Amino acid sequence: MTSHIADQLWDAQFLRRAINAAEVALWSWNVETDLFSMDRHAFAIWGIADNSMVTFEDLSAKIHPSDRNRVRAAFAATRAHVGAYEIDFRILVGDVVRWVSARGQGSDIGKVDDTVMGIFLDVTARKQAEEGNELLAGEMSHRVKNLLAIANSLTLITSRTTTTTVDMARELTQRLTALGRAHDLVRPLPGHEGKAALLGDLFTILLAPYDDNGAFEGRIRVAVPRVSVGETTATTLALIVHELATNSLKYGSLSGGSGTLDVSGVNGEKDLIVLWIERGGPTVKPPTNPEGFGNTMVKRAIQGQLGGSIEYDWSAEGVAVRLVLDKSHLSL
């Protein structure tokens, strides 16, 4: 008998250690009294004082308002659900949003004295990774569409300046190759060593495919301070330049044959200011949807990764964009 009890104690200790290692939180719910019993880890997930008297409604009050009705309905339906169930939802712990996964068995399987049991898992990290993947997928889809638009626009630009199919094929190939060189330029360096590019080189290579005669010589002029940028900054700036140039090809000065683009810069004590000035194109009007994906991406990139800001001046003669970049971020 003594050996059997010792085995049971060992099994209980082993199970608890396994549960703690897996960061699994245990809960039970008395469906008649509405009281929840939870272990220490569950109280920590919900941000509630340990051993508090907690009801289902108490927990519901901490569920994100957008998920609350869905979770209430789901929990009410679990007793009629056949088999295992899983519900993912957001909770608010102060100002922090956490994702929780509640799991258990439906149809009152395993119910003891009006009490059903299950587990909580903190799945915040997984949900954030999923959201990041969704954002990346949206960004990649957006970039692919823009690349197709660029290829189409480059074809039209080239057709205006060539007279034979051979010349057109040669010049179009050169422009597409320049885009490939820009991609190689902003690609992370092996081993994360060294600087990705000089700021002037970056702008020149990225904008060269949009100019009939090349930057510095044609209607696109680049004159920025001699500043080195790291691989992360170069990648971010490439996205920003790509978005601004695509918009210019669609609606701005680069959409016509006589428009010009001037990119200049001022090297301040703490900030680097880059001015993007378009002139000579069609009459410019402010966008009807300033919070589109492209503008949102640019704003987030400048604020989040470059510690800066972006301002637009939608004057009739052409848009003027003012980029303010935190110099402490440029070497990243």
3-state secondary structure 200-220: HHHHHHHHHHHCCCCCCCCCE
CA–CA gap between residue 327 and residue 40 (Å, rounded): 46
Which secondary-structure segment (H or E) carries 165?
helix 165-186
Residues 58, 34 contacting (CB under 8 angstroms): no
DSSP 110: T
Residues 130, 124 contacting (CB under 8 angstroms): no
Helix axes 231-251, 124-161, angle to 10 degrees: 50
Domains of the chain by range and CATH? 2-122 (3.30.450.20), 134-329 (3.30.565.10)
- Least Cα distance to 250 among 148, 163, 324 occurs for 148
One-letter amino acid for residue 62 of the chain: K
Task: Looking at 47-164, list the stretches that DSSP marks H as alpha helix, in order from N- to C-terminal side.
Answer: 56-62, 65-78, 124-161
User: In degrees rounded to 5, what are phi and psi of residue 139?
Assistant: -65, -45
CA count, 13 A, side-chain hemisphere, 13: 6
Name every residue whose Cβ is closer than 8 Å to that of residue 163 and which is 6 or more positions away in sequence: none
pLDDT of residue 169: 83
CA–CA gap between residue 246 and residue 182 (Å, rounded): 15
pLDDT of residue 185: 63
Residues 140, 127 contacting (CB under 8 angstroms): no
CA–CA gap between residue 71 and residue 25 (Å, rounded): 18
Residues 98, 91 contacting (CB under 8 angstroms): yes
User: In degrees rounded to 5, what are phi and psi of residue 226?
Assistant: -80, 100
Residue ranges of the chain with per-residue pLDDT less than 50: 1, 188-195, 213-216
Which secondary-structure segment (H or E) carries 237?
helix 231-251
Question: Which of helix, strand or coil describes residue 224?
Answer: coil
Residues 301, 264 contacting (CB under 8 angstroms): no
Residues 272, 330 contacting (CB under 8 angstroms): yes
CA–CA gap between residue 78 and residue 102 (Å, rounded): 11
CA–CA gap between residue 162 and residue 16 (Å, rounded): 76
Name every residue whose Cβ is closer than 8 Å to that of residue 78 and which is 6 or more positions away in sequence: 85, 104, 106, 116
Pairing of strands 220-223, 260-267: parallel
CA–CA gap between residue 98 and residue 124 (Å, rounded): 5
Token representation of residue 155: 């074809």
Angle among Cα 106, 25, 64 to the nearest 5 degrees reads 75
